[in-house]
Structure formats: C-alpha cells, structure tokens
Amino acid sequence: MKLLEKYFLPSDYFREFHSITPQYLKSRGIKAVITDLDNTLVGYDEPEANESVLEWFKSMNENDIKVTIVSNGSRNRVGRFCDPHDIEYIFRARKPLGSAYRKAVKMMDEDKRETVMIGDQLMTDVFGANRVGLESILVLPVKKKDGWATVVNRRIERVLMKYFDQKGLIQWGD
C-alpha cells in the first residue's frame, strides 16, 4: 500500500484552485506552477477563462510565480482558452506520462523541486507529477460532470480516496 501513497497521494489538497495563494506557494518554496485545465480551472465544457481564473493568474504573475497549463486536451481546446491571455500551455500532454511535466518545467526555466502540479485527478495529474518528482496539489473538480474519458478514472479515484480517507491521509471535512 506504500506504492499507492507514493504515486497517488498528493503533497497537499484544496477545495478549489483559487484558494492556493502565492503566499502559500512561496512558504513551500514554490516558484512555478503547472496546472491542469479541465475541471481544475474551469469545467471541461467551458471554452474560456472566467474572471476567477484571470484574477488567480494575475495574482501569480504579480508575485513572480510562473504558471503553465498542461492539458490532455486538443490544441484547439487549450489554445482557445490560453491564447487570448498569453498563458503558456502544453496540449495533448498524455498525462500521466512524464514528458509534458518535464517540458513545462524546462519552459519555465525552474527547478522541479520548486515546481508544483495542480489538478483535479489522482489518476493523471497527481500520479504523473509524483512519478517525475514534482510536488502535487489535488483540488476538487469545479463541476460534477466530466468528459467521457475521465469517467473510468473517477471510479478508480473513488476507491483510492476512500483508502486515503480511512488512513487519515486526505480529509475534506465532509
């Protein structure tokens, strides 16, 4: 069961991405953020950044914390979201494979020990980050509904979350 914790237990967890402040990240020695897009920042069916997302990006920028979106989504999906706001991104990332995580760290010219991955899925975001030695932060999905490719992952995730809850490793307080 130690392997479950090594690969699927996030370094930390928050209910929502915008609760992750620059002050919190700096207190952990974090200078760069890799974040998922769909159901982490906005619903998978929301094509554009909302005010909450833009304010969060602005806050990170004002505090010299670099942010790159790493998404399994298509170029069209991710580009439509990021391009109007000059947000760096990697599309079709093939998470949880490690190449996109390493590429994002290199793009931001930061050390992986000072980089964190923020995402809503244990099976892709957390697992991929943990495999390549990044810190990981799990957030609750912004919407209950997922794209078809995520449905199976969510079933496996529920089993893992129950295990972590029983061990006292993740407690959302519900």
Q: Which two tokens stand for residue 27?
A: 């207190």
pTM of the model: 0.93
Angle at 43 between CA 140 and CA 142, to 5 degrees: 20
pLDDT of residue 150: 73
Lowest mean pLDDT among 81-85, 105-109, 148-152: 148-152
Q: Is the model's pLDDT at 174 over the cut of 60?
A: no
93-135: per-residue pLDDT in tens? Answer: 999 999 999 999 999 999 999 999 999 999 999 999 999 999 9
Instruction: Quickly state the pLDDT bin for 88 (edges 50, 70, 90).
Output: very high
The helix/strand/coil state of 34 is: strand
pLDDT in tens, 24-76: 999 999 999 999 999 999 998 899 999 999 999 999 999 999 999 999 999 99
CA distance 157 to 151: 10
Straight-line distance from the first to the last Cα atom of the chain, in angstroms, rounded to the nearest whole number: 24
pLDDT band at 147 (very low <50, low <70, confident <90, very high): low
Print burial letters for 53-74: b (CB count within 10 Å at least 16), e (below 16): beebbeebeeeebbbbbbbbbe
CATH architecture for the domain at 2-166: 3-Layer(aba) Sandwich (3.40)
CA 77 to chain centre: 17
Helix or strand (DSSP H, E) at 155 = helix 151-166
Distance CA 108, CA 35 (A): 13
* Cα–Cα distance, 125 to 42 (Å, whole number): 15
More confidently predicted of 81 and 152: 81
